């Protein structure tokens, strides 16, 4: 595992812990439709456990808080390539060398979903025909899995410009539209191949897929083979039509249905712009296309509204435009998929956008676009959660403040029946408690629903505990030279434990076996001084402490 991945995991765990301590709340500001009652009963066999202090801590949201993420900042070689045209390699590493380690943890701090910025696009995956390139996407997916982050696959096809296709496709479209229409068959064949290979490769790894991006914005009016050869199409077409000679709605239907055959579980999204921002000139065409495809039996689970607001945003206007789409497309959630803007007060704008989305019953998530100042796609935009050096911006602080305000963390005491109840925001929770010096925890998912979610935790191995309840740690204390070391020992550890003392240089000075009486062990013959003390078995280390006096 690389350093940035290991550190990002540590960071996200520490954030969850910190959140449970600092933001202990019932998320009172969340709308009721975002919440559900969670009822927990704790028993030991047939005996309810009353008076038990139970923590109910939300670690993830059902609502999507995400952003576009690039792979290159996490790869030192790609980082050098990015900047070496303006400064030499040594200067790049001197100036930006800590970015590969800091970028992943910074992202994990703010976001629970990612949209790979370019790493899953056709042109990136097959810049040469037959030369598959998935390693950058694999890096992002591995990062996401290790940090409990969901992925929006982006994108299978892009219908706007020929330039969004791999360059080698241009010659196929050129010959198909000039002298040899049999190339249309080749165009359909490579579309089928892209559908099958890409979705099979990423099968089960993406919660969403942007199947067709910007379906209403076909702008292909010429196809260029080289600097001297091009063909005029006589109008603006999407590149999928230019490549196959099919009506666009027909090729869209074909791709959606074939995609569902390959990937049965991911939610499918049609993603487009000019739907909820200042200009909506293609909105009705998009609505018509979506409804037509649904009537043809296609799965359209997510309505992706790109949120490129530019320099214009008004809360009331955004609500009106989301309502317009919600009233005319009855199927699927609405997501703001690519939110960015330029504003004098970005924190104020993001608060308004988040409020509108979280308080609208049809909206399922919001994803920012390029939220790091070091990765701009438009130079005048300033909607960043972290600056060039990955330090938090006021907008980043506001983003976290809003999420934390909609997060449920509570500590409740079970009643005489061993029960407690929490009205929690939809999402993933860790339920934990301590009994007889042992810490128990289990993870549950509070999905949207009208009836309470009833969970029974039983220490005898039945109920939810049968598979997911973990007797994770036993509290242990060691008295060394009359100083106290308190630590948690996994209850599964049955090996002989030792206390080992090392010099600062790493030399082993002493090693003493330990045993516990009521969770306490006492040792009086360890060397005194500025040493490093480690507690563990021969193969596992469970606690390390350093100092002149242990306390």
Residue 51's pLDDT is 97
140 neighbors 71 (Cβ within 8 angstroms): yes
Nearest residue to 424 via CA among 27, 143, 128: 27
Beta strands in 436-482 (DSSP E): 438-446, 453-458, 470-480
380 neighbors 346 (Cβ within 8 angstroms): no
Query: Which of 49-58, 73-82, 294-303, 422-431 has the weakest average pLDDT?
Result: 73-82
DSSP per-residue letters across 394-459: HHHHHHHHHHHHT-EEEEEE--TTSEEEEEEESEEEEEEEEETTEEEEEEEEE-S-SS-EEEEEET
Q: How far is Cα 50 from Cα 55, in angstroms, rounded to an integer?
A: 14
Residue ranges matching CATH 2.60.40.10 in the chain: 3-60+409-468
Residue 250's pLDDT is 98
Q: How far is Cα 318 from Cα 348, in angstroms, rounded to an integer?
A: 15
Structure tokens given for 104: 């992943």
Does the domain formed by 63-405 have CATH 3.20.20.80? yes
Preceding amide of 155 cis, omega within 30:
yes
Mapped onto helix, strand or coil, the DSSP state of residue 148 is: coil
Nearest residue to 303 via CA among 256, 363, 257: 363
Structure tokens given for 327: 């009233």
- What is residue 506's DSSP assignment? S
pLDDT tier at 13, thresholds 50, 70, 90: very low
Structure tokens given for 389: 């050096």
Residue 471's pLDDT is 61
Q: How far is Cα 457 from Cα 41, in angstroms, rounded to an integer?
A: 6
Q: How far is Cα 125 from Cα 266, in angstroms, rounded to an integer?
A: 20
Q: Please give the model's pTM, rounded to 2 decimal places.
A: 0.82
Report, as an integer, the average pLDDT of 107-119.
98
Phi first, then psi, for residue 400 (nearest 5°) are -65, -40
Report, as an integer, the average pLDDT of 339-362.
98
Mapped onto helix, strand or coil, the DSSP state of residue 291 is: helix
Task: Give 355-364 pLDDT, tens digit per residue.
Answer: 999 999 999 9
Task: Give 296-342 pLDDT, tens digit per residue.
Answer: 999 999 999 999 999 999 999 999 999 999 999 999 999 999 999 99
Which stretches within 32-159 are classed as H helix?
76-83, 89-96, 99-110, 122-125, 135-146
Task: Give 47-63 pLDDT, tens digit per residue.
Answer: 999 999 999 999 999 99
> Given a cut of 70, is residue 42 above it in pLDDT?
yes
Express as a percent the part of the chain with pLDDT over 70.
Answer: 90
Residue 483's pLDDT is 76
Which burial class, exposed, middle or buried, applies to 482 when counting CB atoms under 10 A from its CB (0-12, 13-18, 19+)?
exposed
> Given a cut of 50, is residue 136 above it in pLDDT?
yes
> Given a cut of 60, is residue 548 above it in pLDDT?
no
pLDDT tier at 18, thresholds 50, 70, 90: very low
Which burial class, exposed, middle or buried, applies to 340 when counting CB atoms under 10 A from its CB (0-12, 13-18, 19+)?
buried
Q: Name the packing angle between helices 99-110 and 394-405 (round to 10°).
A: 40
Phi first, then psi, for residue 164 (nearest 5°) are -85, -5
pLDDT tier at 9, thresholds 50, 70, 90: very low
Sign of CA dihedral 295, 297, 298, 302: positive
* Mean pLDDT score across all residues of the chain: 89
CATH architecture label of 3-60+409-468: Sandwich (2.60)
135 neighbors 35 (Cβ within 8 angstroms): no
Q: How far is Cα 500 from Cα 480, in angstroms, rounded to an integer?
A: 11
């Amino acid at each position: 595992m690389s350093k940035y991945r290991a550190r990002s995991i540590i960071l996200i765990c520490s954030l969850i812990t910190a959140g449970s301590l600092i933001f202990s709340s019932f998320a009172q500001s969340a709308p009721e439709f975002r919440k559900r009652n969670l009822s927990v009963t704790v028993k030991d066999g047939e005996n309810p456990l009353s008076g038990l202090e139970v923590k109910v801590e939300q670690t993830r949201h059902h609502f999507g808080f995400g952003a576009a993420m690039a792979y290159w900042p996490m790869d030192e070689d790609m980082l050098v390539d990015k900047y070496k045209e303006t400064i030499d390699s040594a200067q790049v590493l001197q100036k930006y060398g800590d970015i590969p380690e800091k970028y992943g943890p910074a992202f994990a701090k703010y976001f629970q979903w990612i949209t790979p910025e370019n790493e899953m696009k056709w042109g990136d995956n097959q810049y040469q025909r037959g030369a598959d390139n998935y390693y950058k996407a694999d890096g992002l997916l591995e990062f996401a899995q290790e940090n409990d982050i969901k992925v929006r696959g982006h994108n299978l096809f892009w219908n706007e410009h020929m330039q969004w296709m791999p360059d080698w496709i241009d010659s196929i479209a050129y010959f198909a539209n000039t002298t040899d229409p049999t190339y249309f068959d080749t165009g359909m064949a490579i579309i089928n191949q892209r559908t099958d290979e890409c979705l099979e490769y990423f099968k089960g790894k993406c919660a969403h897929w942007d199947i067709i991006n910007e379906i209403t914005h076909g702008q292909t009016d010429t196809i260029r083979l080289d600097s001297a050869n091009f063909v005029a199409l006589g109008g603006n077409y999407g590149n999928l039509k230019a490549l196959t000679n099919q009506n666009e709605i027909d090729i869209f239907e074909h791709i959606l249905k074939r995609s569902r055959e390959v990937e049965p579980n991911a939610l499918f999204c049609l993603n487009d712009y000019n739907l909820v921002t200042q200009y909506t000139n293609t909105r009705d065409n998009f609505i018509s296309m979506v409804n037509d495809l649904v009537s043809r039996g296609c799965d359209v689970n997510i309505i992706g509204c790109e949120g490129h607001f530019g320099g214009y945003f008004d809360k009331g206007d955004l609500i009106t435009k989301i309502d317009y789409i919600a009233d005319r497309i009855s199927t699927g959630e609405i997501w703001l998929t690519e939110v960015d803007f330029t504003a004098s007060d970005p924190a104020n704008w993001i608060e308004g956008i988040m409020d509108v989305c979280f308080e609208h019953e049809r909206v399922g998530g919001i994803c920012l676009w390029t939220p790091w100042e070091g990765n701009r796609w438009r130079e005048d935009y300033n909607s960043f959660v972290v600056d060039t050096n990955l330090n938090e911006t006021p907008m980043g602080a506001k983003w976290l403040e809003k999420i934390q305000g909609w997060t449920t963390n509570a500590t409740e005491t079970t009643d005489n029946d061993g029960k407690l109840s929490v009205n929690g925001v939809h999402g993933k929770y860790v339920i934990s408690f301590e009994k007889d010096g042992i810490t128990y925890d289990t993870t549950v998912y509070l999905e949207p629903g009208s009836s309470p979610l009833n969970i029974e935790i039983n220490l005898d191995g039945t109920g939810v505990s049968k598979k997911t309840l973990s007797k994770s740690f036993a509290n242990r204390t060691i008295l060394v030279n009359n100083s106290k070391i308190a630590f948690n020992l996994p209850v599964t550890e049955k090996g002989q434990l030792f206390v080992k003392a090392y010099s600062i240089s790493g030399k082993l000075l002493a090693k003493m076996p330990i045993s516990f009486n009521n969770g306490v062990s006492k040792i009086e013959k360890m060397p005194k001084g500025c040493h490093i003390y480690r507690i563990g078995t021969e193969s596992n280390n469970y606690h390390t402490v350093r100092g002149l006096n242990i306390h």
